[in-house]
Structure 1
């Protein structure tokens, strides 16, 4: 039998970890659940290989998770805010745009009966001082689940 892994330098309270695992299952947060499961298995004395197989990760990922646990405990394991460019429009502005698109273009001061892609792009730039490419506009409207998509 291989050697026992003794990587965890931070104390692991199995009761706390089990409670956190239950919360993850209820939320459907698989990523955080896998991290907690790996830490729990290591705390119980499992070797690396069974842990890697159970949560289907690489050894490098396991090492990173252990380091995150040792440095920050539960907070260290929780996923942070994703990287990337911040959105051009705030949540309130997106809601406002969706409300605008629910009205006819005439109600917003345009001489058209239907929202066309170019008109929506113009409206967004005029009202919010932000420009989008037409492909990005559709992605944007899908993120807010808009039922008010332009017709062409």
Structure 2
């Protein structure tokens, strides 16, 4: 799914680079490779040398565009101690 034009995608990549969002840049570059006609596997190999979750990235893009690709962290395991302890 094309949420952005190629020019807008380039701008999103540039903005993510300026914001030092390395993971988002990698994911957006993956999408750009898909725009240029690569298969999911080819696009993934161009971005990194190891196995990456290309199906999940493509699905996140289709569902939510750029915001869908942003890494989300659950905050980790809850602390065992209370704030008073």
Please indicate the TM-score interval, normalised by the length of the shorter structure. 0.7 to 0.9
Contact 2:13–2:28 (CA<8 Å) still a contact in 1? Answer: yes
Unaligned stretches of 5+ in structure 1? 1-8, 89-124, 131-152
Contact 1:41–1:51 (CA<8 Å) still a contact in 2? Answer: yes
Deviations 1:25-70 (A, max 9, x none): 11221111010000111011123343122112536x0110000000
- Normalising by structure 1, what TM-score? 0.47
Please give the secondary structure, in 1, of the residue aligned with 2:33: helix
Q: Relative contact order (alpha carbons < 8 A, sep ≥ 6): 1 or 2 greater?
A: 2
2:51 alignment partner in structure 1: 58
* Pair 87,10 (structure 1): closer, same or farther in 2 beyond 3 Å: farther
> Aligned-pair RMSD on alpha carbons?
2.4
* Pair 53,87 (structure 1): closer, same or farther in 2 beyond 3 Å: same
Pairs within 5 Å for 1:1-152: 9-56=1-48, 57-58=50-51, 61-86=53-78, 129-130=84-85
* Partners of 2:13 and 2:43 in 1: CA distance: 16
Deviations 1:67-122 (A, max 9, x none): 0000111111111233413568xxxxxxxxxxxxxxxxxxxxxxxxxxxxxxxxxx
Contact 2:24–2:69 (CA<8 Å) still a contact in 1? Answer: yes
Moved over 4 A (4+): none
Unaligned stretches of 5+ in structure 2? none
